[in-house]
């Protein structure tokens, strides 16, 4: 558990592909999506956090044992190159989540190996790129992710559509539901506990729109990071043979 | 538990107010909403069910101890006259649900005393009457309520809008989510267990549109009735003092 | 939402009957269970809280509109006199919970009007008074209620037995399960959201044993109070007619 | 979806290792655990089912594409040889579950690759072999798995102990909780939905005790098979690009 005194250690992982291959994406995120996400978290959380970023092309994709050991909450943005993430790194991240690291899976991260691994399902959905208006409605207003939130929905003026059926396990908590101009709906903000780790899936964040500059989106990302921070009993409760109750205690 | 052989005993309760006071409603439901709901269930379920109907103006609102004792699944449609339902009858229905009777709460039944009593919350929501298109999307396709259902969403051409935040406890199962032309979303098909009883809330059914004539709506009502039928252990497990484990068994 | 700076305002309600009518209870809780619960919270939470107590015999049972308006989290201990709590006060407390006040329901508070009102079920269970050993096992270790907790179970040397079936709605979160020497089990630590309020039911606390002096029990009560404190969006989202999306926003 | 007329097609998979390597196990299950499980299901379900069995040593462990395509519900018993199950077969079984096949995971199947794959967690627990008495208590009596069940708990006279923390995602439904003589508790009967498939984990079944001969255990296995049978919408809802709402329908 991280104490209130020491800053929360955040790592933002971005595959960083679109920003280098597509002019329209670079125009919005010239230094990469991760840099704008980082800027948003700094703006919202100030000195309560330290932030590092890493990308696909780095050795071990930047996610060495040491980096993960020093991470309280990991954010994951991927889309075009899910297959290029090494299984060994996926296993390492999964293990850290089960041990208590928080994980925010963003937008098309629904298709990432790490999310599928933790969910056990295909995590597939329907989609359409038509620059539609998305409205995200809060369905669990007392959740701490919404601390201080003064509205009951968020409007994203232009978004890629994601529609149900979204093939995930029933979320532990369903926090927001989106509608799109085309009429589809989507479970856009969901939480899951796996092992000692907490996972927050948050849908908005398509690379061709300036969504991570939007203040409400930044507030929810910050709320999600706070919520996903390690908490609870630090007691290590490994599977083990318990000869008797006495030995066991 | 009802055996497969004997027909399921259904009671449809309707306050039966709008149909007598408003010409536009009478035009659609001349004999009352309950008669059209009954027709739909007969069409879908045939000899697997016996159906009786009752209304607010009857003695005890038609819900005597005997009627409830002879009911496997109760459907509830109310809107304009929630306050006129006697608390004593509400308590009686609640007790039967806790004892195992199924309950389908339809449309504006969200504001009924019996639903509020079983939920413990206000059950309030936002609404608008503008004849909007509603799309209901399935988010739990393997649920038996959808047995044989060949589509992944239903379109209701004209509907009253209900929007979140819908002040209910987190449903045990969230089955469908609606979007409306205006952009709102709603948890439109939800299940809850209370005591030994199963409750299905299903949103569509505004009195000024011919929604209960629509075949997909009828299929879901039939699926809901089948699902809510008494099931599980008939063992009566009253609260009681258990002097010792031996006495207890 | 209570800010980190201002202390959390706690009210402890105790029916305060056993302590005055029974010598054996008075021997353990001479000034009332509420005073020992208060002492425990002060010990655990220090200046992070202000605490007031109230009892059944006070006017309005000590739970006036003003007292409730000034309460962030209410703790409820009752057993022998559930029926003497005025319905009007129960309705007032329920409304405050739906508006965001936290509620801890302790031990035999399972049978209180306020708990039954918020659950919608009988909340009944089986029980036995035989001074049995109770073991409470953590089944959701990452929950913030267990922050800093260094064990995976608690032993209460002597307890009244509560056994399943416990007639409650499925909890939003099941945190601890008890076993008793006689072999029964019980869902002993459960959370529920109702409206904007958070509810924590915590089983231990029989009046004839010094359970509220036990440090692990005190830690969990403190964790429960922290968790149940008002959080989330302060936006008032009343049910209302929304003529158009524009008006609505 | 299987119609009521055609029998449910069950496949029982057993690693079949202990029965051949250990005299004490062979004494109880001379032809293998799978044969006794099959006998129990036939006894309970009669002509409503057809049953085939297969084991680890067969080509593809007996789980070819064809066998799985012809299976409505698969039962899985494994313990000593989880690692010998080919990843390719695990992937195939997972895919069939996501497509709608039911899966019963029995006893030490908690550690199987297929269960871990579908859960995303370690699925670990604590354990002890001491021939303890296990009591399994029903905590959701209205679940159809308990149809016709006339008791509120089951006693297994001698069992291996499994204790919490059981590292699984929060079950969609928690049906039974065990206590053991040593004082531990365990979530012994749990359901999970993954994709269109339903999964039932049921704890009892240690190879050194005659547990699969016990009539209550057989009833619950039969109830689990019925519940896990494919249900819901047969509509194939693949992830796909939806250029417009019109194209999409």
pLDDT in tens, C22-49: 999 999 999 999 999 999 999 999 999 9
- For Cα atoms D203, D209, D210, give the angle at the middle one, nearest 5 degrees: 95
**pLDDT single digits (tens) B95-109:** 999 999 999 999 999
Asked if A98 reaches chain C (Cβ–Cβ under 8 Å), the answer is: no
Reduce the secondary structure of chain B to three states and give it as a string: CCCCCCCEEEEEEECCCHHHHCHHHHHHCCCCHHHHHHHHHHHHHHHHEEEEEEECCCHHHHCCHHHHHCCCEEEEECCCCHHHCCHHHHHHHHHHHHCCCEEEEEHHHHHCHHHHHHHCCCCCCEEEEEEEEEEEEECCCCCHHHCCCCCCEEEEEEEEEEECCCCCCCCCEEEEEEEECCCCEEEEEEEEEECCEEEEEECCCCCCCCHHHCHHHHHHHHHHHHHHCCCCCCCCCCCEECCCHHHHC
Q: Which regions of chain D does DSSP assign to beta strands (E)?
A: 8-14, 49-55, 73-77, 102-106, 126-138, 153-163, 173-180, 185-194, 197-202, 240-241
Q: Do C152 and D165 touch (CB under 8 A)?
A: yes
- pTM, two decimals, is 0.96
Taken in order of first residue, the domains within chain D and their CATH numbers are 8-123+189-233 (3.40.50.880)
> Contact, C186 vs C164, CB < 8 A?
yes
Determine the residue of chain A that is closest to B166 in CA distance: A139
Closest CA to B220 of B113, B127, B140: B140
> Contact, A109 vs C205, CB < 8 A?
no
* Of B206-210, C127-131, C238-242, minimum mean pLDDT range: C238-242
Determine the residue of chain B that is closest to A177 in CA distance: B185
Mean pLDDT (whole number) for C83-109:
98
Q: Residue B4 contacts by C-beta under 8 Å, 6 or more apart in sequence?
A: none
Write the DSSP string, A85-117: S-HHHHHHHHHHHHTT-EEEEEGGGGGSHHHHH
* Of A142-151, B208-217, C110-119, minimum mean pLDDT range: A142-151
State the Cα–Cα distance between residues B64 and D238, nearest whole angstrom: 49
Residue C249, pLDDT score: 36
Which helix (DSSP H) or strand (DSSP E) does residue C38 occupy? Answer: helix C33-45
Alpha helices in D15-129 (DSSP H): 18-21, 23-28, 33-45, 65-69, 87-98, 113-119
* Phi, psi dihedrals of residue B4, rounded to the nearest 5°: -65, -25
Asked if C213 reaches chain D (Cβ–Cβ under 8 Å), the answer is: no
Q: Do B239 and C169 touch (CB under 8 A)?
A: no
Residue B241, pLDDT score: 64
**pLDDT single digits (tens) B26-64:** 999 999 999 999 999 999 999 999 999 999 999 999 999
**pLDDT single digits (tens) A17-60:** 999 999 999 999 999 999 999 999 999 999 999 999 999 999 99
Encode A138-176: b = buried (16+ Cβ within 10 Å), e = exposed: bbbbbbbbbbebeebbbebeebbbbbbbbbbbbbbbbbb
State the Cα–Cα distance between residues D36 and D207, nearest whole angstrom: 11
Asked if B240 reaches chain C (Cβ–Cβ under 8 Å), the answer is: yes
Within 10 A of D81 (CB to CB), how many other CB atoms are there? 15
* Of A84-93, B124-133, B184-193, D100-109, minimum mean pLDDT range: B124-133
Residue C3, pLDDT score: 46
Q: Are strands A126-138 and A73-77 parallel, antiparallel or unpaired?
A: unpaired
> Contact, D136 vs D107, CB < 8 A?
no
CA distances from D38 to A160, C10, C187, D74, D107 (A): 50, 58, 34, 12, 16
CA distances from D229 to A54, B141, C142 (A): 45, 14, 34
Closest CA to C55 of C93, C15, C12: C15
Which band of pLDDT confidence, cut at 50, 70 and 90, is reported for residue A178?
A: very high
Mean pLDDT (whole number) for A121-139:
95
Which helix (DSSP H) or strand (DSSP E) does residue C19 occupy? Answer: helix C18-21
State the Cα–Cα distance between residues D213 and A70, nearest whole angstrom: 52
Mean pLDDT (whole number) for D166-177:
98
Q: Residue B67 contacts by C-beta under 8 Å, 6 or more apart in sequence?
A: B11, B52, B54
Which band of pLDDT confidence, cut at 50, 70 and 90, is reported for residue B243?
A: low
Structure tokens at D112: 């199987």
State the Cα–Cα distance between residues B13 and A111, nearest whole angstrom: 47
DSSP 3-state assignment of C193? strand
> Contact, A101 vs A199, CB < 8 A?
no
Candidate from D139, D173, D183 with C-beta closest to C164:
D139
Mean pLDDT (whole number) for C216-228:
98
Residue C134 is given by DSSP the state E
**pLDDT single digits (tens) D4-51:** 569 999 999 999 999 999 999 999 999 999 999 999 999 999 999 999
Determine the residue of chain D that is closest to C126 in CA distance: D152
CA distances from D76 to D16, D63, D101, D110 (A): 11, 11, 13, 10
Residue B235, pLDDT score: 65
Structure-derived torsion over alpha carbons of residues C212, C184, D209, D149, reported in degrees to the nearest 10: -150
**How many A×C Cβ pairs under 8 Å?**
92
Residues 112-151 of C with CB under 8 A from B: 117-122, 124-128, 130
State the Cα–Cα distance between residues C191 and C12, nearest whole angstrom: 19
**How many A×B Cβ pairs under 8 Å?**
64
Closest CA to C133 of C70, C173, C182: C182
Which band of pLDDT confidence, cut at 50, 70 and 90, is reported for residue B143?
A: very high
Q: What is the mean pLDDT of chain C?
A: 93
* C170 contacts in chain B (CB < 8 Å): 172, 193
State the Cα–Cα distance between residues A119 and A112, nearest whole angstrom: 11
Residue A1, pLDDT score: 39
Mean pLDDT (whole number) for A6-11:
96
| Euclidean distance between the first and the last CA atom of chain A, given in angstroms as a whole number | 22
Structure tokens at A88: 């060994």
**How many B×C Cβ pairs under 8 Å?**
97
Determine the residue of chain D that is closest to C134 in CA distance: D183
In this prediction, the answer to ipTM > 0.90 reads: yes
Q: Are strands D197-202 and D185-194 parallel, antiparallel or unpaired?
A: antiparallel
Residue B150, pLDDT score: 85
State the Cα–Cα distance between residues B180 and B238, nearest whole angstrom: 45
Residue D161, pLDDT score: 96
- For Cα atoms B196, B197, B202, give the angle at the middle one, nearest 5 degrees: 155
* B143 contacts in chain D (CB < 8 Å): 231-232
Within 10 A of D249 (CB to CB), how many other CB atoms are there? 11
Mean pLDDT (whole number) for A161-190:
97
* C172 contacts in chain A (CB < 8 Å): 173
Mean pLDDT (whole number) for B238-246:
57
* Of A167-171, B94-98, B147-151, D119-123, minimum mean pLDDT range: B147-151
Interface mutation vs chain C, best among A72, A97, A233, most C CBs within 10 Å? A233
Q: Which regions of chain A does DSSP assign to beta strands (E)?
A: 8-14, 49-55, 73-77, 102-106, 126-138, 153-163, 173-180, 185-194, 197-202, 240-241
**pLDDT single digits (tens) C155-198:** 999 999 999 999 999 999 999 999 999 999 999 999 999 999 99
Which band of pLDDT confidence, cut at 50, 70 and 90, is reported for residue D239?
A: low
Residue A54 is given by DSSP the state E
B19-23, long-range: CB < 8 A, 24+ apart: B19/B207, B22/B207
Q: Is the pLDDT of residue C245 over 70?
A: no
Q: Do D164 and C177 touch (CB under 8 A)?
A: yes
Q: Do B183 and A133 touch (CB under 8 A)?
A: yes
User: Crossing angle, helix C33-45 and helix C215-228, to 10 degrees?
Assistant: 80
Beta bridge partners of D174: D190
Q: Is the pLDDT of residue D87 over 70?
A: yes
Q: Residue A28 contacts by C-beta under 8 Å, 6 or more apart in sequence?
A: A207, A208, A209, A210
Interface mutation vs chain D, best among C136, C152, C179, C188, most D CBs within 10 Å? C179
Interface mutation vs chain D, best among B72, B142, B230, most D CBs within 10 Å? B142
> Contact, A111 vs A82, CB < 8 A?
yes
* Of A106-110, B241-245, C151-155, minimum mean pLDDT range: B241-245
> Contact, C57 vs C63, CB < 8 A?
no
Q: Are strands B173-180 and B185-194 parallel, antiparallel or unpaired?
A: antiparallel
Structure tokens at A38: 């980082």
Candidate from C138, C173, C234 with C-beta closest to A233:
C138
Q: Are strands B185-194 and B73-77 parallel, antiparallel or unpaired?
A: unpaired
Q: Residue A47 contacts by C-beta under 8 Å, 6 or more apart in sequence?
A: A7
The sign of the torsion formed by the CA atoms of D106, D110, D111, D112 equals: positive
Which band of pLDDT confidence, cut at 50, 70 and 90, is reported for residue C248?
A: very low
Q: Is the peptide bond before A190 cis (omega within 30 degrees of 0)?
A: no
Q: Do A165 and B152 touch (CB under 8 A)?
A: yes
């Amino acid at each position: 558990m991280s104490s209130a005194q020491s800053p929360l250690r955040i790592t933002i992982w971005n595959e960083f592909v679109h920003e280098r291959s597509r002019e329209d994406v670079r125009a919005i995120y010239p230094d990469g999506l991760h840099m704008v996400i980082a800027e948003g978290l700094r703006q919202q959380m100030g000195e309560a956090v330290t932030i590092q970023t890493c990308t696909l092309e780095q050795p071990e994709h930047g996610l060495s044992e040491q980096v993960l050991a020093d991470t309280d909450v990991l954010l994951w943005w991927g889309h075009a190159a899910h297959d290029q993430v090494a299984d060994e790194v996926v296993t390492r991240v999964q293990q850290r989540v089960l041990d208590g690291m928080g994980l925010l899976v963003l937008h098309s991260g629904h298709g990432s190996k790490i999310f599928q691994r933790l969910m056990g399902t295909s995590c597939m959905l329907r989609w359409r790129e038509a620059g539609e208006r998305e409205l995200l409605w809060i369905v669990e207003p007392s959740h701490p992710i919404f601390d201080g939130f003064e509205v009951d929905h968020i409007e994203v003026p232009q978004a890629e559509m994601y529609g149900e059926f979204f093939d995930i396990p029933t979320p532990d908590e369903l926090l927001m539901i989106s509608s799109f101009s085309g009429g589809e709906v989507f479970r856009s903000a969901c939480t899951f506990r796996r092992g000692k780790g907490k996972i927050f899936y948050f849908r908005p964040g398509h690379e061709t729109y300036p969504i991570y500059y939007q203040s409400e989106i930044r507030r929810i990302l910050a709320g999600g990071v706070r919520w996903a921070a390690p908490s609870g009993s630090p007691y290590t409760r490994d599977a083990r043979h318990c000869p008797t109750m006495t030995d066991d205690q």
